[in-house]
Amino acid sequence: MNQILALREKRAKAWDAAKAFLDSKRGTDGTLSAEDSATYDKMEADVVNLGKEVERLERQAVLDLELNKPTSTAFVGAPDGGNTKKAKTTRGTDEYRNAFNKVLRGKGMTLEVRNALEVGEDSEGGYLAPDEFEAMLIQALTEANLFRSVANVITTGSGDRKIPVVTAEGTASWVDEEGPIGDTDTVFGQATLSAYKLGAMIKVSEELLNDSVFNLEAYLAAEFARRFANAEESAFMIGDGSGKPTGLFHTSGGAGVGVTTASATAPTADELIDLFYSLKAPYRSNARWLLNDATIKVIRKLKDAEGQYLWQPAITAGAPDMLLNRPLLTSAYAPTIAAGARVVAFGDFKYYWVADRQARSFKRLNELYAVNGQVGFLGTQRVDGKLMLAEAVKALVMKA
């Protein structure tokens, strides 16, 4: 933690130095010479690299804490208080976990293993992950896909999940004595969350499977998490809703338009302030910014009317960077600056719902890659995502 704090302080000092250099080297026309521009770009790159190193150390600390937790606290008691018959939905037993690991390593399907896995067998012959493995995978997804940590994540059992949404609210009005009271009703709509299938295949050599030292469970959890997280975040940002979630930046079903810039190449400080106030006040209290790193590089050079930079680096460990005193998130999948593109989102992302359908499932494929001395592992999950209220998040759109 001391190392993280030291790096944050170092980044803050580097940013102050970069700002001072930029102010001192601007000519009368407000531009930099080619040499000064190159120097500033290097100073800014140092700030960016320090920020990425801070993020890496913070993720490492969280993962170290999670992986050092004891794994022998799974619930094993019978839910009815005495009946020893296993419930079909119980996957938190040591017996199930050991059986799951035996299948991963190809130890054979003995009667003992088959009976233990019966509680997790699906209609296609795959096996649901045991509770400990599932929890590790969800943790890794949260760390790799930061948008899950700010969105509203729910779990649905089966079929489409229908969400009631208020599309128009009733109002009160002043009336004369004995005058009629106006009849205005609240209008309700409905949003539907489906369950789109996301899959990944991992091949593992037989040598690794036979190596008792190799932590197969941890490897599969981390690798499946990385692949699922990248695909998820891309869909949550720019998905078109066809066979995948509807992205926050998509023109249909995504954030509402808050501001359209006057330039097709760069936003101004005034336009970001206009975007801030295009969001209704009740949403601003929990609002965050979301944009690409390349867009942040442009915004870092912007100042308000008082000459203060809009972007401020965080100094406290674990705290996000700030833009107009609101937290800032970055995503590699957010659109970059281009004519007509939606490049900045500002709002309360709890109104973006992510629906996970049931548990993730995994299958071991023995024969498909046998000629290469490998075993395949197939992982699937079903998920959907959608912004429930367009007014809860506003987008900055570049001039077409």
Q: Is 94 exposed, middle or buried (0-12, 13-18, 19+ CB in 10 A)?
A: middle
AA letter at 361: S
pLDDT for 113: 44
Pick from 117-126, 157-166, 219-228, 362-371: least confident: 117-126
Average pLDDT, integer, range 286-311: 89
Mean pLDDT of the chain: 79
pLDDT for 335: 95
Rounded to whole angstroms, how far apart are CA atoms 352 and 345? 12
Cβ pair 222, 205 in contact under 8 A: no
pLDDT for 211: 67
Cβ pair 76, 149 in contact under 8 A: no
Provide the pLDDT confidence category of residue 87 given band limits of 50, 70 and 90.
very low
Q: What are 97-124's pLDDT values in tens digits?
A: 676 666 666 665 554 444 444 444 444 4
- Pick the closest to residue 10 from 39, 40, 53, 42 (CA basis): 53
Angle CA 371–372–375, to nearest 5:
95
Average pLDDT, integer, range 245-256: 94
Pairing of strands 374-387, 196-205: antiparallel
**115 found inside a domain:** no
- Pick the closest to residue 248 from 260, 233, 258, 238 (CA basis): 238
Distance between first and last Cα of the chain: 46
In this predicted structure, the answer to whether residue 322 has a pLDDT above a threshold of 70 is yes
pLDDT for 105: 65
pLDDT for 108: 56
pLDDT for 274: 95
Provide the pLDDT confidence category of residue 224 given band limits of 50, 70 and 90.
confident
**H/E element, 363:** strand 352-365
- Model pTM? 0.69
Instruction: State the total domains in the chain.
Output: 1
**380 found inside a domain:** yes
- Pick the closest to residue 357 from 338, 376, 382 (CA basis): 382
- Residue whose entry in the numeric block shows the structure tokens 């991992």: 202
**218 found inside a domain:** yes
Q: What are 152-183's pLDDT values in tens digits?
A: 998 887 667 777 766 666 667 677 777 777 76
Average pLDDT, integer, range 221-236: 90
- Pick the closest to residue 264 from 111, 100, 396, 386 (CA basis): 396
Cβ pair 74, 158 in contact under 8 A: no
Average pLDDT, integer, range 330-351: 94
Provide the pLDDT confidence category of residue 282 given band limits of 50, 70 and 90.
very high
Provide the pLDDT confidence category of residue 219 given band limits of 50, 70 and 90.
confident
Domain that holds residue 400: 157-170+184-292+331-400
- Pick the closest to residue 67 from 215, 228, 232 (CA basis): 215
**222 found inside a domain:** yes
pLDDT for 246: 95
**385 found inside a domain:** yes
How many of the other CB atoms lie within 10 Å of CB of 110? Answer: 11
pLDDT for 123: 43
**How far lies 324's CA from each of 15, 104, 288, in Å?**
17, 50, 10
- Pick the closest to residue 238 from 336, 371, 370 (CA basis): 336
- The pair phi, psi for residue 234, each rounded to 5°, is -60, -45
For residue 238, what are its two tokens? 């720019």
pLDDT for 103: 63
Average pLDDT, integer, range 213-220: 74
Q: Which residue has the higher pLDDT, 236 or 188?
A: 236
- Pick the closest to residue 165 from 348, 386, 395 (CA basis): 386
Provide the pLDDT confidence category of residue 220 given band limits of 50, 70 and 90.
confident
In this predicted structure, the answer to whether residue 204 has a pLDDT above a threshold of 50 is yes
In this predicted structure, the answer to whether residue 338 has a pLDDT above a threshold of 90 is yes
Listed in sequence order, the residues at least 6 apart from 329 whose beta carbon sits closer than 8 Å to its beta carbon are 146, 147, 150, 288, 289, 290, 291, 320
Angle CA 140–145–285, to nearest 5:
120
**255 found inside a domain:** yes
Q: What are 252-265's pLDDT values in tens digits?
A: 999 999 999 999 99
Angle CA 235–268–307, to nearest 5:
125
Pick from 3-7, 69-73, 242-246, 296-300: least confident: 69-73
Cβ pair 145, 151 in contact under 8 A: no
How many of the other CB atoms lie within 10 Å of CB of 333? Answer: 20
Average pLDDT, integer, range 191-206: 86
Cβ pair 264, 339 in contact under 8 A: yes
Rounded to whole angstroms, how far apart are CA atoms 290 and 59? 19
Rounded to whole angstroms, how far apart are CA atoms 371 and 32? 61
In this predicted structure, the answer to whether residue 82 has a pLDDT above a threshold of 70 is no
In this predicted structure, the answer to whether residue 385 has a pLDDT above a threshold of 90 is yes
SS3 200: strand
- Pick the closest to residue 102 from 115, 90, 87 (CA basis): 115
Rounded to whole angstroms, how far apart are CA atoms 46 and 52? 10
AA letter at 52: K
What share of the chain in percent tops pLDDT 70?
A: 74
Q: Where are the alpha helices (DSSP H) in 26-130?
A: 34-67, 94-104, 111-117
